Amino acid sequence: MKAKRIIKSGLALLLSMQLALMSCITALAAPEWPSDTGVLADIGIAVDADSGAVLFGQGIHELTPPASITKLLTALVVVENSSMDDMVTFSYDAVNNVESGSGNKKNIAEGDKLSVKDCLYLLLLQSSNQAANALAEHVAGSRDAFADMMNEKVKELGCTDGTHFANPSGLNDDTQVVSAYDMAIIAQAAFNNSDVLEISSTKSYKLAPTQNNPSGATCANEHRLIITDDETSELYCPEAKAGKTGYTSLAGNTLVTYGEKDGRRVISVVLKGQPSPNYFLDGKTLLQFGFENFQNVSIPDNETKYVTGEETVSINGADFQPDELDLESGAVITLPKDAAFSDASMELVTELPKDHPEGAVAKLVYTYNERKIGEGWLFTTRAQSVDAVAPPSDGEAPAG
């Protein structure tokens, strides 16, 4: 009996030690990724605009019609391929070749002339389909040719979900579809462009005179999270700075919102949204979830591997001293607010895309519990043929 008691006592002690060990392991584990939010829409995503980390996602790779959030891509392609002072002439086709019932904001007429800048304000603030058509003709000669430019841009940005654009306005077309994930990449590129950001964040803008508006006309932003100043309103969202609305019979309500707070930038995308105000509230929920639950941490301020110490670093057969290597300035990773930089895992990627930055020899890619949370380039400060160190690859698209 005494032996049995000793054995039972020993087993109890062992079990207690195991439980204590498990408790310590749990305490040392990285904090869970926040997920305590949701949206009424079928599809929603929140993305950190600097790291590219997906903060929240629901149906983010499903393809669905985009409606007028398409115009963010249209604006980006236009800004990159024309001058703000160029004059745009509205053709008969630009004015009239639109879907029945889609309207004509500001009553634009054939023969009207507006600058590219005016057209972009009309495009992004009032969602003018006529402005989309005219800008496309101005830049590419035709809407079809412009759509080709749009799809080339999507490919360049690294969208891989099957997103495809058929026109510059976002009006219904059976082949025009986008995923929330790809749309977030497009929006990230659009808002990284200072002209697109400035225009889409403006609350109102006075156009130059046209035939039906000889004294000019005022464009007003239609994004309710951006224009609501009443702090008691459910649509008050001081973080929201820019964005684009959309609606068609096939797409339902769509919304892109860009926000800033405490030095961070977050983008939310809502597709197949519920009737107003719900899809705006979804945009607000996603945006604020991103700001309240996460932090950005500097890579160059925290990463010591490869760039410190005295041991030689070998990359693709080339040897470097740590003082010959440097990390991308401004690169960040996104972590839960209660996590540390050491909780992230890092992989050195040496097979780089053809358009890698000059001097890059590798890329540091970070994950958190198998979720990608950011990346940064590793550069050499030594004068040499970089391409001999980091051979180009077609297999990896550049980060947005």
Residue whose C-alpha is closest to residue 72's, from 165, 161, 3: 165
Residue-by-residue pLDDT tens, the chain, 400 positions = 555 555 545 555 555 555 444 444 444 578 999 998 879 999 999 999 999 999 999 999 999 999 999 999 999 999 999 999 999 999 999 999 998 888 899 999 999 999 999 999 999 999 999 999 999 999 999 999 999 999 999 999 999 999 999 999 999 999 999 999 999 999 999 999 999 999 999 999 999 999 999 999 999 999 999 999 999 999 999 999 999 999 999 999 999 999 999 999 999 999 999 999 999 999 999 999 999 999 999 999 999 999 999 999 999 889 999 999 999 999 999 999 999 999 999 999 999 988 899 999 999 999 999 999 999 999 998 865 444 455 545 444 434 3
Pairwise CA distance, residues 156 & 170, whole Å: 20
Taking CA atoms, 221 is separated from 22, 124, 128, 297, 308, in Å, by 55, 8, 12, 34, 50
Residue whose C-alpha is closest to residue 182's, from 285, 62, 33, 50: 62
Containing 347, the helix (H) or strand (E) segment is strand 345-349
Pairwise CA distance, residues 111 & 210, whole Å: 9
Gap between the terminal Cα atoms of the chain: 71
Return phi, psi of residue 148, to 5°: -60, -40
Q: What angle do CA 99, 68, 259 make, to 5 degrees?
A: 170
Taking CA atoms, 242 is separated from 166, 252, 259, 268, in Å, by 25, 21, 7, 11
Q: Are 219 and 207 in contact (CB under 8 A)?
A: yes
Q: Are 288 and 264 in contact (CB under 8 A)?
A: no
**215 exposure class (CB count in 10 Å sphere: 0-12, 13-18, 19+):** exposed
Containing 135, the helix (H) or strand (E) segment is helix 129-140
Single-letter amino acid code for the residue at 152: E
Helix axes 194-201, 70-80, angle to 10 degrees: 130
Return phi, psi of residue 70, to 5°: -50, -35
